[in-house]
Amino acid sequence: MKSNRMINGLIIVLASGLSLQSCSTTNELAAGLPAAIVSVADDGTTTIDTDLLKTVYFDGASTPMTDPLGEWLKFMREEEKVARDLYLAFYETYKIPVFKNIPKAEQNHMNAVLTLMNVYGIADPASAENGVFVNPDLQALYNDLLAKGKVSLIEALKVGALVEETDIVDLADVYELSPGDDFKALAEALMLGSRNHLRAFNRVLKINGVVLLPSALDQSAFDEIVNSDWERGTGLCNGINTNTGAQYCGKGRGFRGGRG
């Protein structure tokens, strides 16, 4: 699953052909699934009850650990950090609520990934320093997107949307790695958060008269997300209820330079 989206040191995200499928609300995991795993604020900021997620899905490892799964966790831990650090930097420049509130959620998402890493004894690659990454491709990505977002508020908002689109696609990659319910639960909760955050950036761009075009998702997937309301379900495709009665379970690929 090597990325081929690096050109001249810049990561260029191409349409990935992400497919959407409606998930039943009566799947095998529906029984007893708590609805409070994900919380959504009025502005779309989405956080995960990590303790509840751990209690329901992480206690007792359910996935035979492989190197690709471990690399996926480490990559997602740092990719969530890319989002957090970019938004914090953009808030310092532009002082608007979307860049103040969503970084808190991204820290929460980082914590959720770390919780599952700890279950499997995987060392945390995330630096305590903002803007510093072990993965060289994520470091280059952060540097490039930071520079792009510092050009203007509109460019910063577009960067935010790009990051969230790509998170959706990269999170869906876990389904290619024979994950257990713990990995699926983490990925689905995080994907729900990214979809809501994509909606949030899109709404601010619309207020500023900008029509956002997809970068990592195909047009139909992108339209289904941005033209719908906040998802207030659990984020778990296996047995959830949302305001629309369905979840998007994408199978696609975004940038992920350096992963196996």
- Dump pLDDT digits (tens) for 9-26: 223 332 222 333 333 232
Candidates 66, 42, 188, 157; CA nearest to 120 is: 66
pLDDT digits (tens, 9 = 90+) for 123-173: 999 999 999 999 999 999 999 999 999 999 999 999 999 999 999 999 999
pLDDT digits (tens, 9 = 90+) for 27-46: 333 333 455 788 899 999 99
Residue-by-residue DSSP string for 192-212: HHHHHHHHHHHHHHHHTT---
Q: How many CA atoms lie within 13 A of 182 on its CB side?
A: 23
Cα dihedral sign for 41, 30, 173, 244?
Answer: negative
Cβ proximity of 97 and 44 under 8 Å: no
Instruction: Tell me how far apart the alpha carbons of residues 150 and 131 are, in angstroms, rounded to a whole number.
Output: 14
* Domains of the chain, each with CATH number or no CATH: 6-226 (1.20.1260.10)
User: What is the pTM for the complete model shown?
Assistant: 0.82
Q: Is a pLDDT exceeding 80 seen at residue 94?
A: yes
Give the Cβ contact number of residue 54 at 10 Å.
Answer: 18
Q: Is a pLDDT exceeding 80 seen at residue 65?
A: yes
Instruction: Tell me how far apart the alpha carbons of residues 222 and 168 are, in angstroms, rounded to a whole number.
Output: 11
Residue-by-residue DSSP string for 14-73: -----B-----TTSTT-TT--TTSEEE-TT--EEE-HHHHIIIIISS--S---HHHHHHH
pLDDT given at position 253: 32
